[in-house]
Amino acid sequence: MIKLKIDGKVVEAEQGLTILDAANQAGIDIPTLCYHESLTPGGSCRVCAVEIRTNRKWDLTTACTYPVEPGLEVRTNSEKVMEARRLAVELLLAQRPHSDRIRELARKLGIEEPTFILKQRECILCELCVRACREIVGTEAITFIAQGKGRDIDEPSVEHSVVKCIGCDSCAYACPTEAITVEDIGDTRILNTPSGKLEFRLKKCKTCGKYWTTEKQIEHIAKISGTSVEEYDVCPDCRD
């Protein structure tokens, strides 16, 4: 076990954990946005800012990405930390002012309205959808597209591959700002994404007649599990 200090309190944590993990275990609250416990941390939103002592000075870092170290000293509620979090959330709020999740973070930090004027966008580029698709679904259907020389785009974005996407809706579930939404209409699932609308045919249960998932998702599950698609003719409710 590693011993570190968080807000002056000695905390023990297993090697390989992050400051965020150690703080959570000790009951110390650190807000997050681009973090999900089942995914590798991305460290993009900076909402989880904390200060760590390096040599004689205190530096800002992100609690969700920084691993615990013996003797590490961490501050989670200093004025510098709060300022950094307020700035991160204010920038996010300026881009996505109607997001419930961001508004809630802003409210907790005492921000009523952003003082910046930024171009509003649905996607805040947290990459939770990219990581969920890659690490949980295993399809790698979503790509982060960065700006760069020779790239014909105005701003970075995330892009769903029409070929690879199976319409499972994990990305919509992971997205903290409703930049990806899903709706099932009749035999069709519609996935609204930052890169456009995708449509998928839904599979009908042979027993109850309910549409329960996409045909592409069944093909994917059958492929990775070595089963046949016919085994999924009946929905999970009717199978029990």
Q: Which residues bind ligand FES (CB under 6 A)?
A: 32-35, 43-48, 62, 64
Spell out the residues 6+ positions from residue 133 whose beta carbon is closer than 8 angstroms to its own: 139, 140, 141, 142, 170, 171
Instruction: Tell me how far apart the alpha carbons of residues 191 and 161 are, in angstroms, rounded to a whole number.
Output: 12
Residue 126, interface with ligand SF4 (CB under 6 A)? Answer: yes
**Which one, 123 or 205, has the nearer CB to ligand SF4?**
123
Order across the sheet with 2-6: list the strands.
9-13, 2-6, 73-75, 49-54, 57-62
Binding mask 13-52 for ligand SF4 (x = CB under 6 A): ----------------------------------------
Distance of CA 140 to the CA centre of its chain: 15
Question: In angstroms, what is the minimal distance from the CB of 47 to ligand SF4?
Answer: 13
Residue type, 185: I
For the chain, report the end-to-end CA distance as a whole number of angstroms: 44
Distance of CA 101 to the CA centre of its chain: 12
Instruction: Tell me how far apart the alpha carbons of residues 52 and 63 are, in angstroms, rounded to a whole number.
Output: 9
Question: In angstroms, what is the minimal distance from the CB of 43 to ligand FES?
Answer: 4
Max distance between CA atoms of the chain, in angstroms, equals: 68
Question: In angstroms, what is the minimal distance from the CB of 236 to ligand FES?
Answer: 33
Residue 129, interface with ligand SF4 (CB under 6 A)? Answer: yes
Span 190-209, contacts to ligand SF4 by CB under 6 A? 194
**Which one, 23 or 182, has the nearer CB to ligand SF4?**
182
158 touches, from ligand SF4, ligand FES, none (C-beta below 5 to 8 Å by class): ligand SF4
Question: In angstroms, what is the minimal distance from the CB of 85 to ligand SF4?
Answer: 18
Question: In angstroms, what is the minimal distance from the CB of 124 to ligand FES?
Answer: 10
Task: Look at residue 202 and give its three-state secondary structure.
Answer: strand
Residue 179, interface with ligand SF4 (CB under 6 A)? Answer: yes
194 touches, from ligand SF4, ligand FES, none (C-beta below 5 to 8 Å by class): ligand SF4
Instruction: Tell me how far apart the alpha carbons of residues 123 and 121 are, in angstroms, rounded to a whole number.
Output: 6
User: Could you tell me how many residues of this chain bind ligand SF4 (CB under 6 A)?
Assistant: 14
